[in-house]
Amino acid sequence: MYPYLDEFIDYLAVERGLAANTLESYGRDLRQYLTYLAKKKKMSLPETTSATVVGFLLHLQAKGRATSTISRMLASIKCFYHFLAVEGIIPRDPTVNLDAPKQEKRLPRVLSVENVLRLLQQPDLKTPSGIRDRTMLEVLYATGLRVSELVSLKISDVNLEEGYLRCVGKGSKERIIPLGSEAVKYLKSYLNHARKFLASNPAEDALFLNHHGHSLTRQGFWKIIKKYAERLDIPGSITPHTIRHSFATHLLENGADLRSVQEMLGHADISTTQIYTQLTKNRLKEVYNKAHPRA
């Protein structure tokens, strides 16, 4: 029913070494497309043209699919057709001149400074897990780490005397990020008073531990932040990435330069960081409209 799909997936797995989740995504996208060709268009792959592919994309759009989904579908289809053309299964690649639709840049959700402080104050500091949670939230807001980077920290990655931590981010790139005084204070409290109650193995070098004494997972921290966020009367969900976005936006609002924020966030391209300047512009406009007598 799905001609050449198995061969294509084998090629991606063997020749390009793609991960199982990525292979599954390609397979899911292409099964939809091949089903569309067989049932709606009743045509074979060699018969298809660029208009066929565009028709499928318009079909997805009519069904209310997001622009990001349509872009991903087109990427899968283009890769498939390229494979078919190289293998000589089709005479030409009909997608050569097709470009993905422009995606709207969605501005990330950001908390106000007041709401960040309210979130930080939620953990119970009378318990070891509460001290750990407060410390993780303080470190996250002080550094803008990705949640995967936060839970991957080792004790040796933190230098409390100098006030910085070492982080290995995407592409195995290492960066050094300063820690604020509050983050240093809570890290000292956690390491000196709380972590030993969570540790079951003295050789464990993960900085943040779960109740089994092992390194806390991304899912584990996501549940922690969700629990505290639910106590706050704030519309919308709060995730670890919300704190990362808030970190970057608050820095820029208070005069930090874009390159420094880019470096701390670990963005390879400054255009990724520039989305936060739009947030600060929106904030300035909001303040102006509220404050200026002739706004």
Active centre residues (catalytic)? 146, 170, 241, 244, 267, 276
Rounded to the nearest 10°, the torsion over CA 133, 211, 217, 23 is -150
DSSP 190: I
Taken in order 240, 243, 247, 248, the sign of the CA dihedral is: positive
* 3-class state of residue 100 by DSSP: coil
Is the Cβ–Cβ distance between 12 and 26 less than 8 Å? yes
Q: Taking phi first (over 0 means left), then psi (-120 to 50 degrees means alpha), and beta for anything else, what does residue 216 get?
A: beta
Residues 99, 36: Cα–Cα separation, whole Å:
20
Is the Cβ–Cβ distance between 197 and 206 less than 8 Å? no
Q: Which two tokens mark 184?
A: 């240093």
